[in-house]
């Protein structure tokens, strides 16, 4: 039976959920490698809802699972059903939803906490020596859970975010928008993607492709 990978989304839309382009490029890279995958998301309300044109908060509640279904074309599974034993590796696209819905890094920095299920999933993949790929701000989430192991990650070159990441015990490695970093010993691949706001889609694709390629290779 071919290997299967788990992808965790945090909603739909970069200001309050998953970064749509990063999510799609991650799935494209998996499909291009003929890799099988399932998409997961928490069945919980997202922290808040942002109007992506006005950049303002809306007075409505949205469900992370239902929002993620927009990207997954309906094929999304409640994160509580994710069993690490069934998957060869884990991939987490970025977006503020990672830092608001999967953990509190957007508000609390290095003192933030990941949700219980997300912590369990990341810990289990790492304990089983299965690879993890994290994109954009998602490396900060990985650092909240695994920073005590001295893991290496990148979110690009933003000094303030990198500083908070290093407070978790993780080591930050500067990378450009089309680059990725490989922590070989811990099997963690990371890339900045849209941590660089003004960037081109083809450069984001280069970094994400590198992450996905190595997660597959390590599995």
Give the per-residue pLDDT at 1: 52
- Residue 136 appears among annotated catalytic residues: yes
Q: Is the separation of the CB atoms in 116 and 108 below 8 Å?
A: no
DSSP state of 87: -
- Residue 188's contacts (CB-CB under 8 Å, 6 or more residues apart) are 131, 132, 133, 134, 142, 146, 151, 152, 153, 182
- Which domains are assigned to the chain? 4-218 (3.40.50.880)
Per-residue pLDDT of 17-69, as tens digits, reads 999 999 999 999 999 999 999 999 999 999 999 999 998 999 999 999 999 99
Q: Is the separation of the CB atoms in 100 and 67 below 8 Å?
A: no
How much of the chain, in percent, has pLDDT values that exceed 70?
100
CA distance 148 to 170: 7
CA distance 138 to 141: 5
């Amino acid at each position: 039976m071919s290997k299967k990978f788990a992808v965790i989304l945090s909603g739909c839309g970069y200001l309050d959920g998953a970064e749509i382009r990063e999510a799609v490029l991650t799935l494209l890279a998996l499909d291009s490698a003929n890799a099988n995958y399932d998409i997961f998301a928490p069945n919980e309300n997202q922290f808040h809802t942002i109007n992506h044109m006005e950049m303002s908060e809306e007075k409505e509640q949205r469900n992370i699972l239902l929002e993620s279904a927009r990207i997954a074309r309906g094929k999304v599974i409640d994160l509580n059903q994710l069993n690490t034993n069934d998957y060869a590796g884990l991939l987490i696209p970025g977006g503020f939803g990672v830092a608001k819905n999967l953990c509190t890094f957007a508000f609390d920095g290095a003192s933030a906490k990941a949700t219980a299920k997300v912590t369990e999933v990341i810990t289990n993949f790492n304990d089983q020596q299965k690879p993890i790929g994290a994109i954009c701000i998602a490396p900060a989430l990985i650092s909240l859970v695994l920073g005590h192991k001295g893991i290496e990650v990148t979110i690009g070159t933003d000094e303030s975010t990198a500083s908070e990441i290093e407070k978790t015990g993780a080591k930050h490695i500067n990378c450009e928008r089309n680059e990725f970093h490989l922590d070989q010993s811990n099997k963690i691949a990371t890339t900045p993607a849209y941590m660089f706001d003004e960037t081109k889609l083809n450069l984001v694709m280069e970094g994400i492709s590198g992450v996905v390629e190595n997660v597959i290779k390590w599995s």
